[in-house]
């Protein structure tokens, strides 16, 4: 088991000239990596994770096997708890999401963002408000009118993830009431909206892009401060007169209690990964911005974002 290094251990790290990557004690990595996805297949976190793993494999950036495991449950609690319990294991990684910050704020988890080794923020994640294209809701004004006239249901993944926050910020800005329906995964969100079980969903762009492009769903607004890169025709909430924006980080973290040179190896490796065209294509396809933040600075960013998230959840009454 690899523990925190002493100054002497840190001094043993060497530079691998061929890749420009700092090696861990000259022999990291030598084992199979387990990349845990804390959500079900097909959702935004799963797609982001598998994109990163595919790039690592295609360009031989990780010299051994990588196994991707979906450990869904509890709005991310099960998977993130598993990685947290791998303390000292440099071969355990996972991807962050809104629930990486939100779930510990609303549930009694055995982990928070503080329990992981931060590697990098790779993209910023915002949400679409989506309706069926054959519905009566052609714009946000139609949604606001319907909500004021009667019961209006909006679904999202989890009870207090970024979907819930986005929906509630919209409701506050529009001075409407709505019923929130928590659903487990991106695939289930699509099913709920397709079947008419709910009036609208708040979803990650990657979860509904196929239906939007096919004309089945219509995205009415985007929650970031700027328009989506892959759907620039969809206005932001703020553009439409609703004074808010909200986005959360998608990044990579490792298990806790690692030698700092493991973190350095992954920072250098993921810097190479995000420079590849496949990652740039992923950002465009999923409408995300890519302004990476690395290492300790990413840890500071998570701290600040978690504090903002907590303040928003308190404001909307999701937590005390």
User: How far is CA 57 from each of CA 36, 253, 294, rounded to the nearest angstrom?
Assistant: 16, 18, 21
- pTM of the shown model: 0.71
Task: Say how far apart CA 7 and CA 201 lie, in whole Å.
Answer: 51
Ordered per-residue pLDDT tens for the chain, 320 residues: 333 333 333 333 333 333 434 444 468 999 999 999 999 998 889 999 999 999 999 999 999 999 999 999 998 999 999 999 999 999 999 999 888 998 999 899 999 999 999 999 998 888 999 999 999 999 999 999 999 999 999 999 877 778 888 999 999 999 999 999 999 777 889 999 999 999 999 998 878 989 999 999 999 999 987 888 788 899 999 999 999 888 888 999 999 999 999 999 999 999 999 999 999 999 888 778 777 999 999 999 899 889 888 988 887 787 88
Residue 257 confidence (pLDDT):
97
The sheet with strand 117-125 has its strands ordered as 66-70, 33-37, 92-95, 248-254, 117-125, 293-294
CATH code reported for the domain at 128-222 = 3.40.190.10
Please report the beta strands in 38-183, taking only residues with DSSP state E, as ranges in sequence order: 66-70, 92-95, 117-125, 128-132, 153-157, 179-183
Residue 22 confidence (pLDDT):
41
User: How far is CA 238 from each of CA 117, 224, 246, rounded to the nearest angstrom?
Assistant: 35, 9, 10
204: region left, alpha or beta (phi > 0 left; psi from -120 to 50 alpha): beta
Can you give the residue ranges of every domain in the chain? 7-125+247-315, 128-222
Residue 245 confidence (pLDDT):
84
CATH 3.40.190.150, domain 7-125+247-315, yes or no: yes
């Amino acid at each position: 088991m690899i523990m925190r290094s002493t100054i002497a251990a840190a001094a043993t790290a060497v530079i691998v000239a061929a890749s420009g990557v700092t090696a861990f004690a000259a022999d990291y990595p030598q084992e199979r990596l387990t990349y845990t996805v804390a959500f079900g297949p097909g959702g935004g976190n799963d797609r982001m994770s598998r994109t990163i793993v595919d790039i690592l494999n295609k360009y031989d950036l990780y010299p051994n096997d990588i196994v991707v495991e979906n450990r869904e449950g509890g709005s991310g609690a099960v998977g993130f708890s598993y990685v947290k319990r791998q303390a000292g294991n440099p071969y355990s990684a996972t991807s962050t999401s809104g629930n990486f910050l939100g779930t510990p704020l609303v549930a009694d988890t055995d982990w928070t963002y503080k329990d992981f080794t931060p590697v990098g923020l790779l993209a910023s994640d915002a949400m679409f408000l989506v309706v069926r294209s054959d519905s009566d809701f052609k714009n946000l004004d139609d949604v606001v009118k319907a909500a004021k006239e009667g019961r209006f249901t909006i679904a999202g993944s989890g009870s207090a993830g970024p979907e819930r926050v986005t929906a509630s910020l919209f409701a506050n800005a529009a001075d409407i009431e709505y019923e929130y329906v928590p659903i487990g995964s991106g695939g289930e969100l699509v099913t709920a909206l397709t079947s008419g079980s709910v009036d609208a969903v708040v979803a990650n762009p990657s979860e509904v892009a196929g239906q939007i492009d096919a004309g089945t769903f219509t995205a009415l607004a985007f929650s970031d401060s700027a328009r989506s890169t892959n759907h620039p025709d969809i206005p932001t909430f703020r553009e439409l007169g609703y004074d808010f924006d909200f986005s959360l980080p998608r990044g990579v973290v490792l298990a806790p209690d690692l030698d700092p040179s493991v973190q350095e190896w992954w920072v250098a490796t993921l810097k190479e990964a995000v420079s590849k065209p496949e990652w740039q294509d992923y950002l465009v396809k999923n409408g995300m911005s890519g302004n990476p933040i690395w290492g300790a600075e990413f840890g500071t960013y998570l701290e600040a974002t978690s504090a903002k998230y907590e303040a928003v959840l308190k404001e909307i009454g999701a937590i005390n």
